[in-house]
Amino acid sequence: METAWNRLDSITAVAHEPDPIVCRGLTRHYGSTIGIDDLDLVVRRGTVTGFLGPNGAGKTTVLRLLVGLLRPTRGEAWISGIPVADPEARRRIGFMPADPAFVGELTGAANLDLLADLSGAEPAERSWAIELLDFDPRDLGRPVKEYSSGMVQKLALIQAVQHRPDVVLLDEPANRLDPLAHHGFENLVRSIAADGRTVLLSSHVLSEVESTCDEVAMVRSGRLLMVSSVRELSAAALRRVTIVYRDRPAELPGGLRDPSVDGLVVTGRVEAHQPAVLREILRDPAVDDLLVEAAPLEETFVHLYREERGA
């Protein structure tokens, strides 16, 4: 009976476990400049969320507010239910800044030891991260001032995850990573999420977000535009249409945006969920072949930003 109650308690505890990242009305102004304005955001456990936006959109400001480097002008944020102003919240966090500055005179290993020591946790996942990121362990014995920028970037990623944090916050993590390390990085964040932990990464590289994230939060000029799953976003994305004709077409199909003609091949874009446009194309007897594919997230992103600007 006691065991059953204990089990019920643990199930209830998991069910009531607070969301890993919660922002309510989070606002930060730099004098008259808006860093981030009235941000409401909840990041779900076990997900990789991409914080997307152009330079100066406020992505880094949000991450810095979450790790307590900045203080909010208004609003609040919590990490696993703990207010970010409480140092205890930072026990749950692994943070990688955009421009990490290690102690150049110390070796990579000594820097990692120092940061693990400050985190108050054993670096249980250091070896795992080193292996995934294809970081040569022998380089850990060299002073960091001798590292290339790519190696510094890998070291910064390792220090962010080595102590097995519940919440990993990464600011422009894939900058300066070579393709092999980039692949390792994707595996790293996917593994962390699969383990029930949470990753929030900022980026302006859409292909990176598309391949790595489950959710996307888009910001512009300090305001949150939308939060969506990558799958939903892809479903809502423009369709790239390639039409191959048998003969030169008399006229281009209606509803086709940004058409371009190259001999008998016409390419263009169609809004999502517009089967009538595709049916009309197929009705034309001159059509020999039709290829429809989702446009890369990048095009959707630019499309959304243009719409927002227009609004």
Partner 1 sequence: MKRLLWADVAARRRMIAGLAVGTAVFVIALASIEAIGGLSDVGRQAFGEAPPALSALAGSRSGFDVFTPLGLLAFAFNHPFFLALSLAIGVAIGTAAIAGDVESGRAQLWYTRPVPRHLILRGRLVFWLLAQICVVLAGVAGGVLASLLSDSLGTEGAGVAIRAGVQFLPLALFIGALSFAVSAFAPTRARALGRTLGIAFLAYLANFVSLLWSTAEPLRWITPFGYYDPLGVVQGIRWGDAIVLSIAAGALVIIAHAGLARRDLA
Nearest distance from residue 61's CB to partner 1, in Å?
9
Q: Decide if residue 90 touches partner 1 (CB under 8 A).
A: yes
Q: Tokens 């930003």 belong to which residue?
A: 305
Q: Decide if residue 220 touches partner 1 (CB under 8 A).
A: no
Nearest distance from residue 5's CB to partner 1, in Å?
32
Compute CA distances 169 → 87, 100, 173, 270, whole Å: 16, 13, 9, 36
Compute CA distances 199 → 30, 48, 74, whole Å: 27, 5, 24
Q: Decide if residue 104 touches partner 1 (CB under 8 A).
A: yes
The interface with partner 1 within residues 10-39 (CB under 8 A) comprises none
**Mask for 153-192, x = binds partner 1 (CB under 8 A):** ------x---------------------------------
The interface with partner 1 within residues 38-67 (CB under 8 A) comprises 64, 67
Report the alpha-carbon distance of residue 157 to residue 155 in Å, rounded.
Answer: 5
Q: Is residue 266 a contact partner of residue 260, using CB atoms and an 8 Å limit?
A: yes
Q: Identify the residue among 41, 52, 93, 281 touching partner 1 (CB under 8 A).
A: 93
Nearest distance from residue 178's CB to partner 1, in Å?
22
Q: Residue 72: how many CA atoms within 13 Å on its side-chain side?
A: 22
Q: Identify the residue among 9, 105, 288, 293 touching partner 1 (CB under 8 A).
A: 105
Q: Decide if residue 106 touches partner 1 (CB under 8 A).
A: yes
- Which of 76, 26, 20, 13 lies closest to 48 in space, CA to CA? 20
Burial class from Cβ neighbours inside 10 Å (0-12, 13-18, 19+) for residue 15 reads exposed
Q: Which residues bind partner 1 (CB under 8 A)?
A: 64, 67-71, 87-91, 93, 95, 97, 99-106, 110-111, 113-115, 117-120, 159
